[in-house]
Structure 1
Amino acid sequence: MTLRVDVNVSGGVSAGEPLALAHAARVAPLLAERQAGQGERAIADLSFANLWLFRRAHDYRFCDGPWPLIRGRAYDGQRHAIPLFPLGEAPPSVLRALLAPGECFFPLAEAQALALPPARFAFSASRDDADYLYRAQAFVDYAGAGLHNKRNLLKQCLAAHRLHHAPYTPQHQPLALQILRDWLQEKGKQAGEADDLPCQEALQHAPALGLEGFISWADGEPAGFVLAEPLQSGVCVLRFAKALARFKGLSQALFSHFAQNYPLQFGRPLDWLNFEQDMGLPNFRRTKLSYQPQALLHKLRAVPR
């Protein structure tokens, strides 16, 4: 694919071009620079894999140039720009010129927002956008306070079913797609609903996108999978987790296996798990809170005053 130079639209604001896999070589290092040093406070959104997989939902468009950014639309409809440069290096006049009317800079970690002059930008955060952060060790056996129900579900699953796990590879894609189809059917969803399309692409392009995880069988039947992305040293974002509901406690078993076996299998430490945001969906919020997060990572929006 040949990348073109962006043309400007009204007001000199670049419309960019739809985010594509061909942009990875340019965009991924810029995102990594923005996340450097954030540790477990790094927000889940800022990886090329995440942005590309959810490009349809957010209408992401890459705008290259001396001040590169990605334009998109948040789940609540807010138009925004993701800066791919250090905000503190751009003059205030440039920052304002980069934003189209009604746009904001988003999502910003707190450390990134500090680079913007508060006299020129107003900041806000939505609870719906906040990432859920957990200590990985808590998932190994659910020994922590408030996790007794998860511990019981894990024990029930291990007692009732014979589980087998293997590192996910593209050779497992047909089995994983069948799990995904069965999961959609259990949830009463049609093909293309929920995160069906992004999940399919993640399964297809996992190595290229830096996604790692496990596929699991229960009683010899393909039953679940977990795909995660290393975000910082010792930090993984859980991008996709599918467990068939007919195997009670399988979700807890998949998380436990991942937390316990990831370091040995993939040769990297695992101290923290990020479960991303709940998007304001009540069921997502209840489920993610039930795992007793250590922290919620808020993502700021910066609007010119």
Structure 2
Amino acid sequence: MLPFKSIELKDKDIINSHLCKQNYRASDLCFTNLYSWGKKFDTQYATEGEWLFIRFRDNNNRNSYLKPVGGDNIKRAIETIIDDHQQFDTTFQIRGLTQEMINEIETAMPGAFDYKFNRSVSDYIYTTEKMINLTGKKLQSKRNHINRFKRENEWKYKSLTGNPALVKECKEMLDQWMQINLEEKDPSLVYDDFATTLMLENFEYLELKGGLICVNNEIAAFTIGEPLTKDTFIVHVEKAFTTIHGAYNIINQQFIENEAADFTYVNREEDMGIENLRNAKLSYQPDILLEKYNARLKN
């Protein structure tokens, strides 16, 4: 069996040394997400030669794996995690597979798995050009919200990079945001708050990028993200006070313009099956819906 262990901050470099070899653009394959959400999913990792293996528990507490990353012999890598899984009673499954990953598995192990589409964990990917310029009739309402925000407010964008005092202020804003939104009784908010707090507390070590919008010298919104692959930037967190019209729209646009303009794509992660979040992400007209599938070994 593989020597799996829980992911800790100190594991960043070893895990990233494997993740940097892939270009799937999938939000799962990011150290910050693996670490920050590790408590919720009991995320663990192991390495063997060129390969990185990730094991976790899904929302139904079933043991699961991500596609192994880093090496060439994918058949051998999958056989390794199949062997590791023999200690569990649940059905062997690999989750979060993109179509590109499936193609690789099918080439190496044709017909070995059944695949099921998982809409709630599929990633929303946009071109940076779209997120910055918001051109076209379908995004007219976004431009209108931003224009109204600019008319109604004295505002300023500030980068969090290299500014720990502002990062600390964002944590205070997060606490206020949580107090307001806990009334929604969404259980995922508790884990989201925990993950966001970890990102803010370890902002520099995780080498994150961030930005905020000030209105009358008070934080109205902030966002956290980082490079995911050579051509894709990932946005982990977007928080804004909805009492300020257009606050979400302005931070989304300004953050990408100031922190991620050199990338081709922006991955704004999944919607977790939450209807309001899905509608919000669809409203920006994604250029790619990075579909994710679960694979189960056939009997």
Instruction: Give the TM-score taking structure 2 as reference length.
Output: 0.86
**1:49/1:210 contact within 8 Å kept:** no
Partner SS for 1:213: strand
- Equivalent positions of 1:124-273 (< 5 A) are 124-168=116-160, 169-188=163-182, 193-263=190-260, 269-273=262-266
Q: Name whichever of 231-240 and 156-165 sits farther off.
A: 231-240
Query: 2:38 aligned with 1:44, yes or no?
Result: no
Query: 2:98 aligned with 1:98, yes or no?
Result: no
**1:136/1:271 contact within 8 Å kept:** yes
Aligned CA distance change for structure 1 residues 269 and 254 (closer, same or farther; 3 Å): same
Question: What is the alpha-carbon distance in structure 1 between the residues aligned to residue 169 and residue 137 of structure 2?
Answer: 36
- Specify the code of the residue in structure 1 equivalent to 2:42: D
- Equivalent positions of 1:57-72 (< 5 A) are 57-66=40-49, 68-72=52-56
Q: Alpha-carbon deviations, 1:170-192, whole Å to 9, x = none? A: 22122101210121122135997
Q: Give the alignment partner of residue 285 of structure 1, picking from 262, 278, 289.
A: 278
Question: What is the alpha-carbon distance in structure 2 between the residues aligned to residue 123 and residue 137 of structure 1?
Answer: 34
Q: Alpha-carbon deviations, 1:181-230, whole Å to 9, x = none? A: 12112213599725111111111212221310212211211221111111
Q: Percent identity?
A: 23
Alignment partner, residue 74 of structure 1: 58
Structure 1: segments with no counterpart, 5+ residues: 1-12
Alignment partner, residue 304 of structure 1: 297
Q: Alpha-carbon deviations, 1:21-74, whole Å to 9, x = none? A: 1222221111221x23x4xxx111101111001101111012333454121023
Structure 2: segments with no counterpart, 5+ residues: none
Aligned CA distance change for structure 1 residues 145 and 57 (closer, same or farther; 3 Å): farther
Query: 2:69 aligned with 1:84, yes or no?
Result: yes
Question: What is the alpha-carbon distance in structure 1 between the residues aligned to residue 158 and residue 276 of structure 2?
Answer: 29
Q: Name whichever of 77-86 and 206-215 sits farther off.
A: 77-86
Aligned-residue Cα RMSD (Å) equals 2.3
In the TM superposition, residue 161 of structure 1 has moved relative to its aligned partner by: 0.6
Question: What is the alpha-carbon distance in structure 1 between the residues aligned to residue 80 and residue 178 of structure 2?
Answer: 46
**1:233/1:269 contact within 8 Å kept:** no
Q: Alpha-carbon deviations, 1:253-304, whole Å to 9, x = none? A: 11111222225xxxx6132211101111111111111111112101232222
Query: 2:105 aligned with 1:113, yes or no?
Result: no
Q: Alpha-carbon deviations, 1:127-164, whole Å to 9, x = none? A: 11110111222222422231122111111111001111
In the TM superposition, residue 93 of structure 1 has moved relative to its aligned partner by: 4.3
Q: Give the alignment partner of residue 24 of structure 1, picking from 4, 8, 12.
A: 12
**2:40/2:191 contact within 8 Å kept:** no
Aligned length: 284
**2:82/2:92 contact within 8 Å kept:** no
